[in-house]
Structure 1
Amino acid sequence: MESHYRFLLWLVPTLEKFPRAQRFLLGDRIQRTALDVLESLIEATYTRQRRNHLVRANLGIEKLRFLMRLAHDLRHLDGRRYEFAARSLDETGRRVGAWMKTHRARQSPRPV
């Protein structure tokens, strides 16, 4: 969750540098999706039924990967910024994946 929060701290000012039309279209979609991921991670932290929240966070991370790639291909993000975003999303994705695996292991029935 902390890694995604740091990503958001970087992301918000970065999106403000998008051209005006894209700031309100693509930039808003990216920001909303990133905030939804943060909310899902927070919800997963404070509930025992984590699976749905983690699946939603994982899906949001995948959406962000494509949205950031689109922003890069449209030349709204330079290579350095795109690389930072990709690495940050990869780190968060790996953490969510590990959390899902741990949660699954705890939920599976234990042999007697």
Structure 2
Amino acid sequence: MTNKHQTLTLEARCDEMIQYGYVALRQFPKHEKHVLGAEIRLTMLKIQRLIVTALKKFHKKTTLTDLDIEIAVLLRQVRLSKDLRYIDTKKYKSWVSFIVEMGRMTGGWMKKIHAPKAVAL
């Protein structure tokens, strides 16, 4: 799998995750839609922005680290929404599967960036 194909897949998974997240956020109680719900929306959009930024930058190391951090934050926010019973377990598992897959893809991308280059003799 080439780097470009992998990142396009990451972009696609991010779009799917955001679409699923917006549907799940509709279940939030009215008093939380503008607090935790808004924070989750902002985090999802920041993840999308970081993916695009990483695609455009030549030096991706810090951007990918920021992306990994935001994915971890989103995972904790979604877990909190389940713990507070704003979403049910089924929606939680589906949403988390998107997030975990994006985390794995980001980790693979980071490993590829950090891998030492072979020296040709």
Q: Would you call these one fold, judging by a TM-score over 0.5?
A: yes
**Out of 38, 57, 79, which is 2:48 matched to?**
38
Distance 2:12 2:110 in 1: 17
Quote how far apart the aligned CAs of 1:110 are: 4.7
Looking at both structures, which has the greater relative contact order when contacts are Cα pairs under 8 Å and sequence separation is at least 6? 2
Note if contact 2:43-2:74 (Cα within 8 Å) is conserved in structure 1. Answer: yes
**Out of 69, 83, 98, which is 1:88 matched to?**
98
Distance 1:55 1:24 in 2: 28
Note if contact 2:27-2:87 (Cα within 8 Å) is conserved in structure 1. Answer: no
Identity %: 25
- TM-score using structure 1 length: 0.92
- Counterpart position of 2:107: 97
* Structure 2: gaps (5+ residues): 1-10
Quote how far apart the aligned CAs of 1:4 are: 1.2
Distance 1:20 1:42 in 2: 32
**Out of 36, 39, 43, which is 1:29 matched to?**
39
**Out of 51, 64, 77, which is 2:61 matched to?**
51
Q: Deviations over 1:12-60 (max 9, x none)?
A: 1221221111110000001101110110011001111111111111000
Distance 1:38 1:53 in 2: 12
* Structure 1 vs Structure 2 CA RMSD: 1.3
- Counterpart position of 1:61: 71
Quote how far apart the aligned CAs of 1:85 are: 1.1
- TM-score using structure 2 length: 0.85
Q: Deviations over 1:43-85 (max 9, x none)?
A: 0011111111111110001001110010001100100000011
Size of the aligned set, in residue pairs, is 110
Distance 2:26 2:117 in 1: 49
